[in-house]
Chain A
Amino acid sequence: METIVFSLLNGIIYGLLLFMLSSGLTLIFSMMGILNFAHASFYMLGAYFAYSIGSVTGFWVALFLAPVLVGVAGAAVERFGLRRLHAEGHVAELLFTFGLAYIIEEIVKIVWGKIAVPYKVPAALDFPLFELFGSQYPAYRIFMLVVSLAMLFALWYLLKRTRIGLIIQAALTHPNMVAHLGHNVQRIFMLVFAAGCALAGLAGVIGGNYLVTEPSMAFTIGPIVFVVVVVGGMGSLEGAFIASLLIGIMQTFAISVDATFSDLFGWLGLSASSELGGISIPSLAPTLPYLLLVLMLMFRPRGLMGAREF
C-alpha cells in the first residue's frame, strides 16, 4: 500500500514534468509542423540558467527569470533561424533543430563544465512535508506538483478562455483564414515557440535540482518527451497530458516494483527457472516508454487522441 501511494504520487509528479515539456513540443508541432529536436535542450538551459541565476539571487527569482530567458532564446531561434528555413521544408527545419541540440549541449559544456553542477533543492523547501505509513515525503516534490498544476491551469485558461488562446487554436488549423482576419500569424508562431520553450525551461528549473543538472540531461529526457507526443497523438494537448501521466506513472511503478520475471512467471503459473526469470522488472523500466511507442505506432498510428497520423 505504501509503495502504491508513493509511486502514484511520484509518477504523477514525473508525468506532470513530462507534460510541461511535451505540451510545448506538441503545440509547436501542430502549429508549424516542426518536430523540434532541440526542445529538451531548452529544458536543460532552464536548469542551468536557474542554477546560475539562483546562485546570485536565490531560487525564487530564478524560478521566474530562467523560464523567461529560455523563452527569449526560443523566440530568437524561431525568428532568426526557423523562419528563414520555413521555405526549405520540414526536413531542413528538422536538421536545423538537430544541429541546434548539439550546439546547445556543447555550449553548456563550455560554460558550465562537463560534469553535473550542484544545482540543489532550495533550503526553504528541503524538508519532509508529511509522513505516511512511517515514511517521510519531501516538501519539494509537493512544490513541483503545485507548480505543475498551476502551469496546467494557466495553459488551459490561456488557450480556452482568452482571445489570444482562441486565435492560437484557430491558427493551428486555419492559418490563412486567421491572417485574413488581420492577425499576424507569424508573430503568433513565434510567441507559441517562445512559450513552448519557456515551459520546457520551467520544467528544467523545477526538475533540474530534483533530478540532476548535467550536459547529457537533454538527451536523457528528450526521447521520452517524443514518446509522449507520439503516444498522445501528434498535436493533441489532451493526448499529451494523458500520455505524460501514463508514462510517468508506468515508469515510476516499474522502478518501485521489487520483483523479477521469475516472480511474475510463478504468479502466472509458469516455470520460474528460465533464464528470463533472473531479469528484474525495474531493470526493464527504461524500455517501457519505447515499447509503448513501437506498439502505438503499429496498432494506432495516430496516437491516443491525435487528429492525424504521424
Chain B
Amino acid sequence: MSDTDPMLRIHDLNAYYGKSHVLRGVTMDVEKGGVTALLGRNGVGRSTTAKAIMGEVAPEGEVWFKEQNIAGLPSHRIARLGLGYVPEHRDIFPMMTVRENLLLGIKDVAHPGRWSIEDMLEMFPNLKSRADTAAGVLSGGEKQMLTICRTLMGDPELVIIDEPTEGLAPKIVVQIGELIAEIAKSGVSILLIEQKLSIALKIAQKIYVMGHGEIVYSGTPDEFRGRDDIRREWLEV
C-alpha cells in the first residue's frame, strides 16, 4: 500500500432494507489524511452507507481497508482493524459518567492508543469539569464531543462521523467543525456525513454528493462551488 492509495475504497456497494434497494452501487474513495465529505438530502442512503461499511447493515460489494475487503465482517472486527464510527444520534451511554464512556472507547487496556483519558479531558475543558457526571445530562454539543472523543480513544486510523452537527446551535456547529479539522490534522482520516454545506466546504478536501442510493457527483470543494446545478438538484430542500 503506497502513501497515495486511498484509505478506504468502496466499490459497487449495495444494501437492502427488506425488499427496498437502498444502496445502488456506491463507489467512492476516502483519501488518507484529511476530510472527505459525503453530502446529500435525508433518506438518500448516506447513513446506510456508513452502516454497510461498519457491518451494521448487510452489504453487497467491496469495501477495501488496509488491503482487506472488510465488507460483511462483524462490526467489532472492523473496529479493531482501525475504523472508528460515530453514528448519528450520538449514542453515548447515558447512565455512565463521561470518564466511563471514554474508558469504554479503549479497545484493549493493555495496549492503549495515542490519547489517554486525561489527554482528552485536558483538550476539552467542558468534559473535564463533568468527568464524573452521568453523560446523559450533557448538552447536545457536549454529547457530540464525547462520542467523537470516545471513538478516538480506540485509536482509529479512519473515523466515519455521521451528522455531527444535527440539531446544534450555530456556535457549537463551528466548534465541532474545528474539532474535526483538528483531528484530521493529527493524521486521522475522516469520512464526514453532513447536510450542512458550510462545514463540509470549509474542512473537506473532497466532496461526494449522494442521491437515490448512488454517488451523483464528486469533486474538490473549489470545483463544487461552481456547480449550482448539482446543489439545486441534489442538496437544496
Contact = CB atoms under 8 A, between A and B. Distances in A.
B237 interface: no
B109 A179 contact: no
Nearest to B109: A163
A177 interface: yes
B174 interface: no
A180 B85 contact: yes
B103 interface: yes
A170 B54 contact: no
Contacts of B85: 180
Contacts of B95: 169
Contact of A174 (B84, B91, B105): B91
Contact of A181 (B56, B109, B154): B154
Nearest to A187: B76
Contacts, number: 61
Interface hub of A170, A177, A185, A186 (most chain B Cβ within 10 A): A177
B104 A166 contact: yes
B75 interface: yes
A181 B96 contact: no
Interface in B85-104: 85, 87, 91, 93, 95-96, 100, 103-104
B75 A173 contact: no
Chief secondary structure at chain A's binding surface = helix
Interface residues of A, number: 18
A167 interface: yes
A179 B100 contact: no
A38 B93 CA distance: 31
Contact of B100 (A166, A176, A186): A166
Given A177-B91, A179-B74, A163 B79 contact: no
A178 interface: yes
Contacts of B107: 181-183
Interface of B: 54-56, 74-76, 79-80, 84-85, 87, 91, 93, 95-96, 100, 103-105, 107-109, 150-151, 154
